[in-house]
Amino acid sequence: MIRIDSVTKRYPDGTVAVDRLSLDIPDRAITVFVGPSGCGKTTTLRMINRMIEPSEGTILIDGKDILKEPVNTLRRSMGYVIQNAGLFQHRTIIDNIATVPRLLGWDKARARDRARELMGRVGLDPALAKRYPYQLSGGQQQRVGVARALAADPPVLLMDEPFSAVDPIVRKGLQDELLRIQDELGKTIVFVTHDIDEAVKIGTKVAVMRTGGRLAQFAPPAELLTDPADAFVEDFLGADRGIRRLSFFPAAGLPLLTTPVVAVDATAEQIAARATPDVPYLLVTGLDGRPLGWGEPHTLTAGRIDPARLIGHGRPFEHATESLRAALDCAVLSPTGWAVAVGADGRVTGVVSQQTVAEAIRSAHAAAPADEKAAR
Amino acid sequence: MSGLFEIPSDLQNTYWGLVVLHLRLALVPVAAGLLVALPLAQLCVRLRWLYPPVLWVTTVLYAVPSLAFFVVLIDYTGQTETTVMIPLAVYSLVVFVPALVDGVRSVPQETMDAATAMGLGPLRRYLQVQLPIAAPAIIAGLRVATVSSISLVSVGMLIGNQGGLGNLLNDGMIYHQPRLIWLSVIGTAVLAIAADAALVVLRTVLTPWMPRGRSAARPAPAEARPEPAAPVLKDAAR
């Protein structure tokens, strides 16, 4: 555990970057520092590896004061990932990744083997090993940055706005990749960002900081969205925090209707049997079980339904793995107001109406406080 | 044909001997200048206030004519090669100091931060990160300093045939032999061009990591994302 104990950073000109900050960063979890620029989040991160020394207070790692350890030993025990990756442009990808192992005295062959292994882990093509950074895209460079930070298998990973400089699609890929790597490796990650959506997405716990270097709230993301500590946090979270909070409720509990679903080769009897007064549309699936579209029962020609004449079904959601947010989104975007649920194989498992999603949201909210504590 | 490169016996040397001498007189000061400039420039990078005065002093020294240097130095070092080399080394500083300072400053802050954060101490950062990345700027400075030094060496003839190929200029005038003057001028120019070309080759060899020409324009390979469909589905689940 990293304990930040009433740490203040004051610069000679009197500016206070961090003001009496105290918090415990849990092991094997992602702790995100988020806040507007000038809130001291990067300063806090840099005090953990002593790139900046605190003016007051102490930082303890597993009970040991970081000031007592030789500075370069401390730094080599922490991976560091930075915006724009900060790669060594004069070294090949593989030598970039092998930097810290080489500093720790590993021989060249072992360090390179380790670097190759990490390239696979962060999703980099091994053919890039001998390339130079300028030959890589921004997203690939950032992956190299992550691999380099992980090279000596440090217990702690410090990440300073690592994904801010890449485009949104690549950023999303990198975030998913980080979560996957974290599932495998279980590092203690301290992550700085100014993007609250990123914080909520990847953080196990989120520390919201305000200008002047003070901690506004330190809580798991779901709690942050449900119960912001004050107007600043609420404002920083943005207007649609209610919708975003739905990301934390699984869709798996939604009751699905399987009646209004027919296959593309359905007979007249099947169509008639499945059309009920309370369901105005029938979902037509292909012979492979995947959704084709919606149709009103009287427009469907028995035995040879024409997929081209169906109403689009919008994006389906995966019932077992996705959240209420996804289900609601699908229902809202569906032209018929019904969302299509599918299994991992893409086959339709049922349909659900906006009303049913709304009821599920109400009951999830009612049960939430207890659940959230249990989940964390 | 052998007559073309024949030179007067008072020079006590062959043409090729003079070429070698010329190169030594020109290149040793450049090397010495670089050795002095390296720590000086690093000081200027670390102590920002020092850079303007250092730049000012090197510029003023550059403005001092070599003859004036000779007059002062001859009392200490005599009519020797050293007397010729010292001003040349001093002149090279006006090129090297800014080239090194700009080169080292051109290293992106992120790169330096990353190096520091990975536990590279100041010496390692200088030798393993700053100098290699500054190499193109250093070599650009080296090219200017080398070419100018090769051309300046000729004045050494004024203190008694210490000017390499420049010595032929004096003999050419004394003996009314334009051939000797051509040998001197063309020889000096060829040396300068050859030295410059060698440094260009050196830069290419030392900096395979530089984007250059067509390869820089080539688009980087598409971002490789494993499981292209998975992230879309995973998004909302988080």
Which band of pLDDT confidence, cut at 50, 70 and 90, is reported for residue B5?
confident
Write the pLDDT tens digit of every residue in A92-150. Answer: 999 999 999 999 999 999 999 999 999 998 999 999 999 999 999 999 999 999 999 99
Write the pLDDT tens digit of every residue in B141-157. Answer: 999 999 999 999 998 88
Q: What is the mean pLDDT of residues A318-332?
A: 91
Write the pLDDT tens digit of every residue in A231-286. Answer: 999 999 987 888 888 888 899 889 998 888 888 888 888 888 888 777 788 899 98
Q: What CATH number does the domain containing B80 carry? A: 1.10.3720.10
Q: What is the predicted pLDDT for the residue at B2?
A: 53
DSSP code, position B127: I
On whether the CB atoms of residues B54 and B44 are closer than 8 A, the answer is: yes
Determine how many CB atoms are found less than 10 A away from the CB of residue B232. Answer: 12
Which of B36, B52, B44, B158 lies closest to B86, judged by CA? Answer: B36
In a domain, B8, yes or no: no
In a domain, B31, yes or no: yes
- Percent of chain B's residues with pLDDT above 70: 88
Q: Do B234 and A100 touch (CB under 8 A)?
A: no
Q: What is the predicted pLDDT for the residue at B213?
A: 60
Residues of chain A positioned with their CB less than 8 A from the CB of B134: none
- Percent of chain A's residues with pLDDT above 90: 66
Residues of chain B positioned with their CB less than 8 A from the CB of A323: 236-238
pLDDT(B189) > 60: yes
In a domain, B144, yes or no: yes
Q: What is the predicted pLDDT for the residue at B220?
A: 42
Write the pLDDT tens digit of every residue in A202-234. Answer: 999 999 999 999 999 999 998 999 889 999 999
CATH numbers and ranges of domains, chain A: 2-248 (3.40.50.300), 252-361 (3.10.580.10)
Least confident of A6-10, A63-67, A321-325, B220-224: B220-224
In a domain, B113, yes or no: yes
In a domain, B6, yes or no: no
Task: Provide the token pair at A142.
Answer: 């950032």
In a domain, B183, yes or no: yes
CA distance linking residue A365 with residue A241, whole number of Å:
13
Least confident of A197-206, B15-24, B167-176: B167-176
Residues of chain A positioned with their CB less than 8 A from the CB of B111: 86-89
Residues of chain A positioned with their CB less than 8 A from the CB of B233: 318, 321-322
SS3 content of chain B, % helix, strand, coil (to 5): 80, 0, 20
pLDDT(A21) > 90: yes
Structurally, how many domains does chain B consist of? 1
Q: What is the mean pLDDT of residues A140-163?
A: 94
**Three-class DSSP category at A173:** helix
Q: How far is CA A29 from the centre of its chain?
A: 13
Helix residue ranges per DSSP H, chain A: 41-48, 71-76, 93-97, 99-103, 108-121, 138-150, 168-185, 196-202, 221-226, 231-237, 241-245, 268-274, 324-333, 354-375
Write the pLDDT tens digit of every residue in B28-74. Answer: 999 999 999 999 999 999 999 999 999 999 999 999 998 899 999 99
CA distance linking residue A101 with residue A228, whole number of Å:
43
CA distance linking residue B27 with residue B81, whole number of Å:
12
Which residues constitute the domain of residue B202?
Answer: 13-216
Q: Do B110 and A86 touch (CB under 8 A)?
A: yes
Write the pLDDT tens digit of every residue in B75-109. Answer: 999 888 999 999 999 999 999 999 999 999 999 99
Q: What is the predicted pLDDT for the residue at B217?
A: 42
Q: Report yes or no: A348 at the B interface, CB cutoff 8 Å.
A: no
**Three-class DSSP category at A171:** helix
State which amino acid sits at residue A11.
Answer: Y
- Angle, alpha carbons B3-B4-B6 (nearest 5°): 60
Task: Provide the token pair at B7.
Answer: 């030179």
Q: Do A326 and B237 touch (CB under 8 A)?
A: yes
Q: Do B220 and A140 touch (CB under 8 A)?
A: yes
Which band of pLDDT confidence, cut at 50, 70 and 90, is reported for residue A373?
very low
CA distance linking residue A96 with residue A166, whole number of Å:
20
Instruction: Tell me how close the Cα of B146 comes to any Cα of chain A, in angstroms.
Output: 25
Q: What is the predicted pLDDT for the residue at B200?
A: 96
Q: What is the mean pLDDT of residues B189-218?
A: 84
CA dihedral B223, B227, B233, B237 (to 10 degrees): -100
Q: Do B120 and A72 touch (CB under 8 A)?
A: yes
pLDDT(B114) > 70: yes
pLDDT(B228) > 60: no
Q: What is the mean pLDDT of residues A169-198?
A: 93
In a domain, B228, yes or no: no
pLDDT(A296) > 90: no
CA distance linking residue A184 with residue B66, whole number of Å:
69
Round the average pLDDT of chain B to a whole number and report it: 86
Which band of pLDDT confidence, cut at 50, 70 and 90, is reported for residue A368?
low
Q: What is the predicted pLDDT for the residue at A78?
A: 94
Q: Do B224 and A49 touch (CB under 8 A)?
A: no
Q: What is the predicted pLDDT for the residue at A150?
A: 94
CA distance linking residue A97 with residue B51, whole number of Å:
35
In a domain, B231, yes or no: no
Q: What is the predicted pLDDT for the residue at B186?
A: 94
Q: What is the predicted pLDDT for the residue at B23?
A: 94
- Percent of chain B's residues with pLDDT above 90: 68
Q: What is the predicted pLDDT for the residue at A272?
A: 84
